[in-house]
Amino acid sequence: MWDHGGGSVSGYGYDEKYKSSGSMSLAGIRTALQNGGVTFDFIGFDACLMATAETALMLNDYADYLIASEETEPGIGWYYTNWLSKLGQNSSMSTLEIGKNIVDEFVSECGRRCSGQKTTLSVIDLAEFSNTIPDKLSAFSKSVSNKISANDYQSVSEARNSTREFAQSSKIDQIDLVNFAENVGTSEGKALASALKGAVKYNRTSPSMTNAYGVSIFFPYKRTSYVDSACATYQQIGMDSDYSNCIRQFAKLETTGQVSAGGTGSPMGSLFDIAGSVLGSEGGADMVGQLLGAFLSSGKSIDGLDKSNIGFMQDSEISDEQAVDYVSMNYFDVSNLVWETDGDTYKMTLPENQWKLVNQLDLNMFYDDGTGYVDLGTDNIYSFDDDGNLIADTDKNWLSINGQVVAYYHTDTTENGDDYTISGYVPAMLNGERVNLILTFDNENPNGYIAGATTDYIDNETDTVAKSLTELETGDTLEFLCDYYTYDQTYQDSYYLGEPMTVTDNMTISNTNVGDGEVRIMYRFTDIYNEEYWTEAIIK
């Protein structure tokens, strides 16, 4: 099955000529296979993100093996020539051997032609999966629910945040299930991880991909707007209800935490120095309760949520009172986000109990171009002094391509001993098509290179993901995009940055001084509820 893939929530396929038709859900795939009346040796997805636990459980009655990728696929897709030739030479080859050949040819060819792009492909024994995983997944789900009910949401959030995530820039919330189960650390999680490793008969990844063991699962964190549709899909394909209960509980506490902080985070308050604009709960249960009540009655204030997709808030086994009590006792205090100056040095001190509530820290720089502020993106650049204080990086340098400063967003850092891989993306128009350029930095390429590009869909056109473009071609036209805020606080999400650029055979990436204009430097704190807060701006 060759096309776009969206995994557990949005399923497979997308017709770019008939966009309103959407994609085929897992339930829709099951219906088609059921109506077809045919079973297969294997069902393979030459598509992104389809190696999920949900897909495997749905396919059990229709195939012996599932062959699919946890991550987005590079644009070249599967390399059919060699494995089909081998099958032609030996038509009695076992299905598992066929699967291994498919995986080997795909990963090897991607390594040759798509260096730097993250690659995964696995072969899953569906019979073993269906017989060993459901009970263990149910027990694991209950163990996570018990943690949340016992006021240990924080450790679950930390485990989720540190787990290998796929299609990060798309925020589809699919994570490696083995990695997550091990990170949670319960005995049930360890048993589930062991069973999953047994059911995955073959798995290979590119060197830049760690903690990808062959099976992913949907677990909300980047956005909770998919929870209702995911749970509906689970019911349609016959998954046990324990996992649905688990993610509803997690999503309810996360959403309550975001509501208590005033809703969707934005840099505008810090950017424009609006007094009192950095929102945050004062921690009182009464205040949190009032904010939660207002949200439940309107369904507004959280990006992507409205009355149509907050059923998980009512269906969760966590009561409103439990959610309010927990959040009021575990909230990020924004009053700590104050810089102290010592000459040219800016430092920030947070109590230890506040640092424990921080899941992520990023540098965010804005450039004043004379009419407004260019958002240059985020990077994981930060340092601490010997006393544990955050020290701001106030250099006016940012990432550039061929000397043109661009908006860059760091997504992932992988370290394995002395080896490392850093990944990020740059929004752009490639020959008139909106894409994210994938940038990779590693031991062999410390200055980085453009590994390829992925189609970037906006305005909810589709939640499925197209295969990556394999590479840029000499003569292609690039136009760089960024977010932009005018002085009157009007926001634009597709502002053109700099002049169009023609792709050459030697595209260079470097750190470049952003120019003589003023910059505003802020740090973005992301707490355990995935709520974002910006420090006051340092003006340079």
pLDDT for the residue 414: 82
Of all helices (H) and strands (E), which one includes residue 78? none
pLDDT for position 276: 55
**Predicted pLDDT of residue 264:** 66
pLDDT of residue 282: 57
Q: Specify the pLDDT at position 2.
A: 92
Q: What span, in angstroms and rounded, lies between the C-alpha atoms of 71 and 7?
A: 10
Token pair belonging to 315: 């269906």
Which tokens in the block code for residue 166? 């796929």
Q: Where are the domains of the chain?
A: 5-218, 250-331, 339-539
| Residue of 66, 208, 172 whose CA lies nearest to 124 | 66
CB atoms closer than 10 angstroms to residue 125: 21
Pairing state between β 408-416 and 419-430: antiparallel
Which residues of the chain are modeled with pLDDT < 50? 277-279
Residue 386's CB is within 10 A of a number of other CB atoms, namely 5
| Predicted pLDDT of residue 129 | 98
Give dist(CA 227, CA 242) in Å, integer.
14
Inter-residue long-range contacts of 165-171, CB under 8 Å, 24+ positions, other chains counted: 166/7, 166/49, 166/70, 166/71, 166/72, 166/212, 166/216, 167/48, 167/49, 167/71, 167/72, 167/465, 168/411, 168/412, 169/409, 169/411, 169/425, 169/436, 169/454, 169/456, 170/463, 170/465, 171/222, 171/223
> Contact at 8 Å (CB) between 312 and 227?
yes
Q: Do residues 514 and 405 lie in contact, with contact meaning Cβ atoms separated by under 8 Å? A: yes
Q: How many residues does the chain have?
A: 540
Q: What is the pTM of this model?
A: 0.92
